A = this chain, B = another copy of it.
Amino acid sequence: MSKKYVYDFEEGNASMKALLGGKGSNLCEMTSLNIPVPPGFIVSVDACQAYYNEWGESLPNEIIEDYKSHMLKVEEKMGKKFGDTEDPLLVSVRSGAAISMPGMMDTVLNLGLNDKSVLGLAKKTQNERFAWDSYRRFIQMFGNVVMNIDSALFEKELDIIKESKHVEFDTDLDASDLQNVVKAYKKLVRKEKGIDFPQDPYDQLKMGIEAVFSSWNNNRAIIYRKLNNIPKEINGTAVNVQVMVYGNKGETSGTGVCFSRDPSTGANVFYGEYLMNAQGEDVVAGIRTPNPMSTLKVQNEKLYNELLKYSQILEKHYKDMQDMEFTIEEGKLYMLQTRNGKRTAAAAVQVAVDLVEEGLITEKEAVLSILPEQIDQLLHPQFDTNAEKKTKILGKGLPASPGAAVGSVVFNAQEAYDKNQNGEKVILVRVETSPEDLMGMDAAQGILTTRGGMTSHAAVVARGMGKCCIAGCSDAKISESAKTLTIGGEVFKEGDFISLNGSLGNIYGGKIPVVEPALTGHFETLMNWADKYKKLIIKTNSDTPEDTATAVRFGAEGIGLCRTEHMFFEESRINAVREMIVSENIDERKKALDKIEPFQQKDFEGIFNVLEGKPAIIRLLDPPLHEFLPKEEADIEKVAKEVGVSVSHLKQTIEDLHEFNPMLGFRGCRLGVIYPEISEMQARAIFKAAQNVKGAQPWIEIPLVGNVKEYTILKEVVLKVAKELKAENVNFKIGTMIEVPRASLTADELAKECDFFSFGTNDLTQMTCGFSRDDAGKFLQLYVDKGIYDRDPFQTIDKVGVGRLMKQTVELARKVKPDFHIGICGEHGGDPESVEFCHEIGLNEVSCSPYRVPIAKLAAAQAALKE
């Protein structure tokens, strides 16, 4: 074996994440910083890939020999021997990919124990109970994780013995009880698998390492990677083999998790939780509720200070908030892991800005440190403070992930998923969550658990998802069989509404109204830095003064898409619109249009007022006309009466307007080319509004252009109106949306005639890929699952196809006009990866929904900084 697959902790460092995984490379780094880390070695990610691609999912002898030689070095350091019957060296076997996937892959502890060494361990530690408890835990974990025996079967054996002893807790069992448990477990293994529990430590180790490699492709890991958009280049996990230290060797031992800052708020306080006489899994799994760090300070200040020191060293070293695991073995502190801590968006912003102020990182690094998608959390509504104050708090839990959530109660992940598919908003209520609950958590508005701490599964995953979560709410009682949640004396059945404040941990009955978030404090500081470094202009898609005001508050620099047809649907004018559609000649049509015009003018005045001189791209009428007409028989009769035509006339109009493929039908500029009076009316409303509002900057946008002549015909219509209204002094532009592939292909011709382009990537994606968004549901998810498309091309720009066309469009246009202004509007404008792409191909602006403006801005700044 010429290639190096196994590394001592002394051989690696933090930069070797891709090869050694996040956990392993950090163990190496800590080792080099002289932090007390139990020794060990790492089997690399390369080995994992070889395991799948070359070794037929079985470790070859060469690699076994290789890690045996590394084990010898560990034995030397510890002065113990792996598998020794007198004083056995025991190890943990853990996964560790380049990107953290907490709880997704397998772990085995206490590996190296067998029927003989358990006796030596008992003797050496003078703690028979500890030795047998370790052995029974090892058999249970190994049996489940490596040998695939249902965990419940082990629990059942344990329960039988507890019942026979009439005790409630594991801790009430003594050494001889635990010996019986071991016997029962070994019998179970033989029964289930037809073989004896492996006694040879190196057999155990080989099986353990293989199990971790295999767990890379278990179902929940695959789902996790998909949910978190983990790139395909992250392909495999390393295995960390490390000497065991024990937090469960009695009351001078313990284990815990700590953060160099508060991961929920970002406040610069040392933060953590621990349990004495416990193993790490006990804290993370949320089975017992742990103590806060402040208790440790009281109980053992020296140890607390040592931990705090390591925390500070590590934060300074990594220049970021650290998430650390530690174990105290008989009074001695070991650091088992450190990594950049997961945090809420609020914490992320707080930490980033604080670190700049503390001089640890630069503004640019701060901007680059925040995942743009994550700050979505900060942009979601919170409860209305007054309403919340007046509402009775039914109970309190840990504020595990901030934000507000309102929904009906569901008790399992499947229900949550199903109801969400039906458009219902739900709160997932569980005793505790496990990786099997992932899909349900994703589907819920918020999560409430009755057990587990701030670092429990529910809390960690919810924070990652930016989803409101209250964990460990012991005030609440759940009956899974009756499907009831009892809290504060009230009983909630499935379907009843509750409200969660994830920032405070408060639980309320019913629905509390929510209010808009604001861009202030540290968040404002960060966004100002983003403004400083970004190159793209960030605008918003908005059709109303209200949405425009929200977007401007979030920093929008104008409107990138104002869809005028939304105004047509309003109660006050929809019938005038219908009159226009059923018109039989141009005079009737003009009469109806005259009724609509003053409304449109007011719409635009409202928007211009809010914009205070910022530009607004206003798209002329786009949808097919049949969208404005009723579909149901009863509605048809009603509308016919209101509009003043016969039912048969209206029906005939509806039939005439029927289309086989409305997406590709009579819409967009085609309406204006055939009925120029519609475009004239809209142009008149825009110019009159602009003349009434100082500084108004309308950019008039002709939609669905595929041919330069369509554009020039409507440009002439608009210019004629401008002339008639003497609107030459209005600061206006005329341009087109690029959404038809032919427009892209002839962008040079179009650019000659246009003042600007804006990519309508929704339609451009539909036509370029040849699938309609409304219909693609049938196969698109399967396409993503099969890897035909890496992402849903309606969410993230399909760079390979649509992106190539966009790039070509930009090149063609700039060949004609080197400084030509080009933007993008629609869903993709708020997607960070798409924003980065837009920066790369040299667009001038992106436009997105008001609530995504800061996300787009941050993504734009990062794109500029990454250059």
Contacts and interface: CB of A to CB of B under 8 A. Distances in A.
Nearest to A774: B660
A801 B804 CA distance: 16
Interface in A668-682: 670, 673-674
A37 to B, nearest CB: 44
A803 to B, nearest CB: 9
A801 B745 contact: yes
Nearest to A657: B778
Interface stretch (A77-85, A113-121, A725-733, A780-788): A780-788
A664 B772 contact: yes
Contact of A670 (B659, B741, B766, B779): B779
Interface stretch (A254-262, A505-513, A706-714): A706-714
A144 interface: no
A767 interface: yes
Contacts of A347: none
A745 B799 CA distance: 11
A706 B769 CA distance: 6
A670 B710 CA distance: 34
Contacts of A789: 707
Contact of A766 (B662, B664, B713, B787): B664
Contacts of A786: 673, 709, 713
A739 to B, nearest CB: 8
A288 B300 CA distance: 127
A775 B659 contact: yes
A637 to B, nearest CB: 23
A414 interface: no
A710 B779 CA distance: 12
A661 interface: yes
A791 to B, nearest CB: 13
A569 interface: no
A623 to B, nearest CB: 13
B709 A801 contact: no
Contacts of A802: 742
Contacts of A771: 664-665, 670, 706
A741 B771 CA distance: 11
A666 B707 contact: no
Nearest to A804: B745
Nearest to A661: B772
A745 B808 CA distance: 10
Contacts of A783: 673, 707
A465 B758 CA distance: 46
A654 to B, nearest CB: 14
Nearest to A659: B775
Interface string A722-764: 0000000000000000011110011001000000000000010
A152 interface: no
A706 B801 contact: yes
A765 to B, nearest CB: 9
A768 interface: yes
A231 interface: no
A800 interface: yes
Which of A670, A740, A741, A774 has its CB near the most chain B CB atoms (within 10 A)?
A741
A663 interface: yes
Contacts of A745: 768, 801, 804-805
B788 A770 contact: no
A704 interface: yes
B779 A674 contact: yes
A741 B674 CA distance: 27
B778 A665 contact: yes
Contact of A664 (B706, B740, B770): B770
A768 B767 contact: yes
Given A665-B771, A775-B665, A787-B709, A746 B782 contact: no
A798 B742 CA distance: 10
Contacts of A769: 706-707, 740-742
A22 B863 CA distance: 64
Which of A664, A707, A740 has its CB near the most chain B CB atoms (within 10 A)?
A664
Contacts of A665: 771-772, 775-776, 778
Interface in A795-827: 798, 800-802, 804-805
A767 B766 CA distance: 9
Contacts of A670: 771, 779
Contacts of A787: 709
Contacts of A775: 659-662, 664-666
A203 to B, nearest CB: 39
Contacts of A805: 741, 745
A713 B788 CA distance: 9
Contact of A673 (B664, B710, B739, B788): B788
Given A709-B786, A774-B661, A673 B779 contact: yes
Contacts of A772: 659-661, 663-665
A339 B40 CA distance: 99
B662 A779 contact: no
Nearest to A658: B775
Contacts of A804: 745-746
A717 B548 CA distance: 52
A663 B664 contact: yes
A188 to B, nearest CB: 37
A783 B776 CA distance: 30
A622 to B, nearest CB: 12
Nearest to A783: B673
A787 B710 CA distance: 10
A674 B781 CA distance: 11
Interface string A608-631: 000000000000000000000000
A413 B494 CA distance: 73
A673 B741 CA distance: 25
Contacts of A782: 673-674
B740 A710 contact: no
Contacts of A704: 770
Contacts of A779: 666, 670, 673-674
5 contacts: A660-B775, A664-B771, A706-B769, A709-B787, A740-B769
Given A665-B776, A742-B798, 18 more contacts: A659-B774, A660-B663, A660-B772, A661-B774, A664-B770, A665-B778, A673-B783, A706-B801, A707-B788, A707-B789, A740-B768, A741-B768, A741-B769, A741-B805, A742-B768, A742-B769, A745-B805, A746-B801
